[in-house]
């Protein structure tokens, strides 16, 4: 087979599909990218048996159809250094992948595609359509709270389900819970699936180079979830298991409620993390009627103190609570609201954090137990 194509288009396509290629796969055939020329289009595929990614680009001056496997690492390195010129590609009978561009000439040894797995067919299921911006927002607000504890695989992904007319993304690692909702344009039958971290993480990277208003089609079936956009497809298996009932974790009422400037909180907590990084990321927060006192200390480094203003809506007296500052910032740095609301009953109860005037996002974090607010007993 022979074809001519734009090197930048080929580079982008390779960078997309190689996200589904494992460089250390126990099956050597899976370390390759699958190339197929058919009817004037070049289709590339990567697959690691958890996710499969397919992307197609147009070609010119093509001759003959064919398939070949090329090492992902090799072809990625080559196309990234070809510049922005048209290239000529020929695959001979011995599966040699020959690339010519001006004065550049690469002869790469490929392998037959016979043993490469068939790309997963998209099963019938619930179909949704979101824009790139909407989908990236759902992923961004939840993916950071996924657990990597392999003994609890049902927490190694994001729960995607519907609640009435809302699409819901949920993640938890046992120390915090992140919930982002989005209204559905059309009703769907009930579904609930756990999508692996890797699939959503790689999808989010790919969507980052697309226009915010580009539409992404999502197909959710009992065994897989597929994301499609133009010439791009990503199909992922789902994680089997029962996701925890997250609604039971959300407190029905809160005795204390405070509104705080998000920027002031993030900046002060960022500063506290410099010291807290040497003490299990523990930062202590003392809430009063008008001030939030933030402190961190580490025996081998020093101490940090800062006060920022707050507005109390409910409760009385002083509330002292300790948190893992990294887990706090993971969520609050993502928010776009000017102010955030902290709702909490006491120093041991879950703390609910929401953006002001945004009913679509809820973050819950467990405090760290302390003996007397000056000496921690442990950290999340």
In a domain, 83, yes or no: yes
The stretches of the chain forming alpha helices (DSSP H) are: 7-17, 72-79, 132-140, 197-207, 262-276, 325-332
In a domain, 171, yes or no: yes
In a domain, 372, yes or no: no
Q: Could you tell me if 84 and 166 lie in one domain?
A: no
Which residue range(s) make up the domain with 344?
253-365
Mean pLDDT to the nearest integer, 304-308: 96
Q: Could you tell me if 196 and 285 lie in one domain?
A: no
In a domain, 117, yes or no: no
Distance CA 263, CA 336 (A): 10
Q: Could you tell me if 203 and 225 lie in one domain?
A: yes
pLDDT higher than 60, residue 353? yes
Strands (DSSP E) along 26-85, which ranges? 32-38, 41-47, 51-58, 60-63, 66-71
Q: Which pTM was predicted?
A: 0.91
The residue out of 109, 138, 171 marking a domain boundary is: 109
Partners of 15 in the β-ladder:
none
Mean pLDDT to the nearest integer, 122-127: 86
pLDDT higher than 50, residue 376? no
Q: Could you tell me if 212 and 262 lie in one domain?
A: no
The residue out of 63, 82, 109 marking a domain boundary is: 109
Q: Could you tell me if 172 and 267 lie in one domain?
A: no
CB-based burial label for 88 (10 Å; 0-12, 13-18, 19+)? middle
Host H or E run for residue 218 = strand 215-220
Q: Could you tell me if 133 and 237 lie in one domain?
A: yes
Q: What is the DSSP letter of 117?
A: P
pLDDT higher than 90, residue 206? yes
In a domain, 285, yes or no: yes
pLDDT higher than 70, residue 90? yes
Distances (CA, A) of 191 to 138, 181, 224: 17, 15, 12
What is the greatest pairwise CA distance in the chain? 81
Q: Could you tell me if 78 and 132 lie in one domain?
A: no
Q: Could you tell me if 242 and 142 lie in one domain?
A: yes
Cα Rg of the chain, angstroms: 25
Residues near 211 by beta carbon (within 8 Å), at least 6 away in sequence: 132
CB-based burial label for 119 (10 Å; 0-12, 13-18, 19+)? middle
Q: Could you tell me if 56 and 73 lie in one domain?
A: yes
Mean pLDDT to the nearest integer, 96-116: 90
pLDDT higher than 60, residue 379? no
pLDDT grade for 326, boundaries at 50, 70 and 90: very high
Mean pLDDT to the nearest integer, 340-351: 95
Residues near 193 by beta carbon (within 8 Å), at least 6 away in sequence: 159, 160, 161, 220, 222, 225, 238
Residues near 374 by beta carbon (within 8 Å), at least 6 away in sequence: none
CATH classification at residue 221: 3.10.150.10
In a domain, 374, yes or no: no
Residues near 337 by beta carbon (within 8 Å), at least 6 away in sequence: 262, 355, 356, 357, 358
Distance CA 326, CA 7 (A): 42
Provide the number of structural domains found in the chain. Answer: 3
Return the pLDDT at 28. Answer: 87
Q: What is the DSSP letter of 207?
A: H
Mean pLDDT to the nearest integer, 330-345: 95
Q: Could you tell me if 154 and 96 lie in one domain?
A: no
In a domain, 115, yes or no: no
Q: Which of 98, 188, 200, 103 is nearest to 156 (CA)?
A: 200
How much is the mean pLDDT over the chain?
92
Q: Could you tell me if 222 and 165 lie in one domain?
A: yes
Number of Cβ within 10 Å of residue 101's Cβ equals 18
The residue out of 79, 109, 139 marking a domain boundary is: 109
In a domain, 370, yes or no: no
Partners of 167 in the β-ladder:
162, 182
pLDDT higher than 60, residue 375? no
Q: Could you tell me if 207 and 304 lie in one domain?
A: no
Question: DSSP readout, 164-182?
Answer: TTEEEEEEE-SSEEEEEEE
């Amino acid at each position: 087979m022979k074809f001519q194509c734009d090197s930048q288009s080929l580079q982008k396509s390779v960078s997309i599909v190689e996200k589904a290629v494992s460089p250390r796969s126990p099956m050597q055939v899976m370390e390759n990218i699958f190339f197929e020329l058919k009817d004037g289009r070049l289709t590339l595929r990567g697959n690691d048996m958890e996710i499969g990614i397919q992307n197609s680009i147009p070609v010119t001056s093509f001759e003959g159809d064919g398939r070949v496997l090329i090492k992902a690492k090799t072809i990625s390195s080559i196309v990234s250094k070809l510049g922005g010129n048209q290239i000529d590609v020929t695959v001979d009978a011995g599966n040699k992948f020959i690339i010519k561009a001006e004065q550049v000439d690469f002869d790469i040894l490929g392998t037959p595609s016979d043993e490469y797995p068939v790309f997963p067919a998209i099963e019938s299921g619930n179909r949704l359509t979101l824009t790139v911006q909407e989908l990236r927002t759902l992923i961004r607000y939840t993916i950071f709270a996924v657990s990597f504890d392999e003994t609890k695989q049902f927490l190694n992904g994001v729960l995607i389900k519907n609640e009435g007319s809302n699409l819901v993304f949920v993640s938890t690692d046992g120390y915090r819970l992140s919930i982002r909702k989005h209204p559905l344009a059309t009703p769907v039958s009930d579904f609930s699936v756990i999508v692996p971290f890797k699939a959503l993480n790689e999808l989010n990277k790919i969507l980052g180079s697309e226009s915010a208003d580009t539409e992404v089609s999502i197909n959710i079936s009992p065994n897989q979830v597929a994301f499609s956009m133009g010439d791009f497809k990503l199909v992922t298996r789902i994680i089997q298991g029962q996701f925890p009932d997250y609604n039971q974790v959300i407190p029905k009422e809160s005795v204390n409620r405070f509104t705080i400037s998000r920027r002031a909180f993030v900046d002060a907590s960022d500063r506290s993390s410099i010291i807290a990084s040497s003490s299990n990321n523990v930062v202590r927060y003392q809430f009063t009627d008008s001030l939030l006192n933030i402190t961190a200390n580490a025996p081998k480094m020093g101490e940090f103190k800062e006060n920022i203003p707050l507005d109390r809506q409910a409760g009385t007296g002083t509330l002292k609570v300790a948190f893992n500052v990294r887990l706090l910032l993971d969520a609050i740095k993502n928010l776009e609201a000017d102010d955030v609301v902290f709702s909490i009953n006491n120093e041991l109860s879950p703390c609910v954090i929401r953006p002001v005037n945004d009913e679509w996002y809820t973050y819950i974090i467990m405090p760290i137990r302390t003996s007397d607010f000056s000496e921690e007993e442990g950290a999340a």
